[in-house]
Amino acid sequence: MTRADAMAGRLPPVYDTRPGTLLSGLLDHLALPVEVVDEERVRVQRAHWMSTALDRTDVARLGALLDRRLEDWEDTDLFRDRVIAIARARLEGAVACGPILGYVEDLLRAAHSRLGLDLAAAAAPEARVSIVENPPLTGRTVAGALTPLDHVEVTNDGLDPAVLEANLVGLPGTRAATPVLVVPGTGFLLGWAGVIPPGARLHLRWTGAELRADLDGDDRTDLLFSVADAEPGRSLTAAQLIRPAQPLMLPPGTTRLWYVTAGLFDRPELDAVMFAVARDSLRQGRFDADRWDDALMYQPPPLWAEFFWTSPAPASFEVRVPGGVLAADAPLWPEREQARERVGLLAAQGVDELRAAGVRATTLLVPLRESMPLRDRALPGAGIPLADGAPPAPSPAPQFGALLDSTSLDHSRLE
């Protein structure tokens, strides 16, 4: 029913409002501006709802109410779906796993329907998005060249105690024999009863069940040992050595490690170790810095050290999207990689805003990959062996230099 019909229906029956009459023309003329106002009212009403707004500017203004910015490259319908998804997640609680995963899933569906882009084309519908709470956090400290009696501080920023792993490389000109790491104040020490040749690497690694030691790719775990009740200044006894060795655990926070050497019976370490665990006060001698009775003659660094460990990260989570297989419609195909990165950025922005205060959030587009440990090593050749020996006979007289019992003293020159 038009506005003119509504006006005519309200008049008394004595008025003739049939089409073509003077009164009917008057009512049509009066109803026109009212119908224009109705159209404007409907347009304004539609502009106040995200699902019905037509103008791109109106959609952008509605998104600004939720701190959403319409990007220049972004499709209007994609922005509309993104704003609705973030609003739904906030109404459902925002900081919980369900709303965060729901937001990312809604965004992926919007990218598929609006752009023709499927970031997780190979993933099963129930495994398109996953969340990992307290993901692994790997810490690393490069101690560099170490001299016996040096101290190194390592900080475990993780949530739980972590197993210390290490790379120890022998330096030229010295003998890295029986390296020992002590945790002062606890009585615990971890050692390896062998010699690290110059340039060789001793890799201490945790398999999840035991601590292993590889010397340039060769398994030498049998030389690992640990002690639970060591005392500075007292020799180690055979009864104290624990084999298989217990791992050195790093509690959350900062731990001070003490690098020393220890003398063990029947090991090739003469002139390279201390035949007792050093006392706390012992230092490498420095002029005008150390006491005579508590100092050793300075020793060059026998090894280079790097320490690392893995522990659950506190107050953090990762949102993982299996983005190894990408599908895109033909119009988007030339710019599929750029679109993939942009949608991933939008997902990361939303997750970062939905997370709780003080919680670190990371959004990853996980590539398609399979990995396994690779421990193959390549060793250079030993070179060409050269052997000294007498020259073949008869040897010609040299133009310069000398031959034993052949050239005279006056006509010889040492080369």
pLDDT one-digit tens code per residue, 156-200? 999 999 999 999 999 987 778 888 898 988 889 999 988 888 888
Say if residue 34 is in the same domain as residue 109: no
Say if residue 155 is in the same domain as residue 264: yes
Structural domain ending residue among the three candidates 312, 336, 356? 312
Is the residue at 371 inside a domain? no
pLDDT band at 104 (very low <50, low <70, confident <90, very high): very high
Element of type H or E holding 261: strand 253-261
Q: Residue 183: give its domain's CATH number.
A: 2.60.120.860
CA distance 130 to 108: 13
68 vs 307, higher pLDDT: 307
* Tokens at 25, concatenated: 């023309």
For residue 93, the 8-state DSSP code is T
Residue at 297: amino acid letter = M
Instruction: Indicate the SS3 state at residue 141.
Output: strand
Contact assessment for residue 175 and residue 161, using Cβ atoms and an 8 Å cutoff: no
Instruction: Indicate the SS3 state at residue 385.
Output: coil
Query: Nearest to residue 307, comparing CAs of 157, 63, 151, 142?
Result: 142
73 vs 401, higher pLDDT: 73
400 vs 410, higher pLDDT: 410
Do the bridges between strand 249-250 and strand 162-163 make them parallel or antiparallel, or are there none, so unpaired?
Answer: antiparallel
pLDDT band at 301 (very low <50, low <70, confident <90, very high): confident
- For the question of whether the overall pTM of this predicted structure is more than 0.85, the answer is no
Query: Nearest to residue 152, comparing CAs of 191, 176, 172, 180?
Result: 180
Is the residue at 390 inside a domain? no
Contact assessment for residue 217 and residue 379, using Cβ atoms and an 8 Å cutoff: no
Say if residue 152 is in the same domain as residue 279: yes
Say if residue 114 is in the same domain as residue 224: no
Is residue 268 predicted with pLDDT exceeding 70? no
For residue 153, the 8-state DSSP code is E
Residue 284, pLDDT score:
67
Is the residue at 245 inside a domain? yes
Q: What is the 3 state secondary structure string of 161-201?
A: CEECEEEEEECCCCCEECEEEEECCCCEEEEECCEECECCE
Is the residue at 396 inside a domain? no
Say if residue 121 is in the same domain as residue 209: no
Is the residue at 90 inside a domain? yes
For residue 5, the 8-state DSSP code is H
CA atoms within 13 A on the CB side of 253: 3
Contact assessment for residue 165 and residue 305, using Cβ atoms and an 8 Å cutoff: no
- Angle of the 336-354 helix axis to the 76-91 helix axis, nearest 10: 20
Query: Nearest to residue 100, comparing CAs of 347, 409, 386, 360?
Result: 347
Instruction: Indicate the SS3 state at residue 13.
Output: coil
Angstrom CA distances, 284 to 96, 277, 408, stand at: 55, 14, 56
Say if residue 96 is in the same domain as residue 15: no
Is the residue at 381 inside a domain? no
Do the bridges between strand 136-146 and strand 303-312 make them parallel or antiparallel, or are there none, so unpaired?
Answer: antiparallel
Say if residue 321 is in the same domain as residue 182: no
Paired with 48 in beta bridges are none
Say if residue 281 is in the same domain as residue 357: no
> How high does pLDDT run on average in the chain?
82
43 vs 158, higher pLDDT: 158
Report the domain count for the chain: 3
Say if residue 171 is in the same domain as residue 245: yes
Say if residue 231 is in the same domain as residue 324: no
pLDDT band at 377 (very low <50, low <70, confident <90, very high): low
Length of the chain: 415
Residue 137, pLDDT score:
93
Phi, psi of 46 (to 5 degrees): -65, -35
Contact assessment for residue 322 and residue 145, using Cβ atoms and an 8 Å cutoff: no
Say if residue 150 is in the same domain as residue 122: no
Q: Which domain holds residue 149?
A: 137-312
Say if residue 226 is in the same domain as residue 296: yes
Phi, psi of 347 (to 5 degrees): -65, -40
Query: Nearest to residue 343, comparing CAs of 368, 356, 361, 326?
Result: 326
Is the residue at 120 inside a domain? yes
Query: Nearest to residue 56, comparing CAs of 85, 78, 39?
Result: 78
DSSP string computed for 188-246: EEEEE-SEE-BT-EEEEEE-SSSEEEEETTEE-GGGEEEESS--TTS---GGG-BSSPP
CA distance 330 to 116: 8
Is the residue at 80 inside a domain? yes
Angstrom CA distances, 128 to 104, 107, 205, 215, stand at: 10, 12, 34, 42
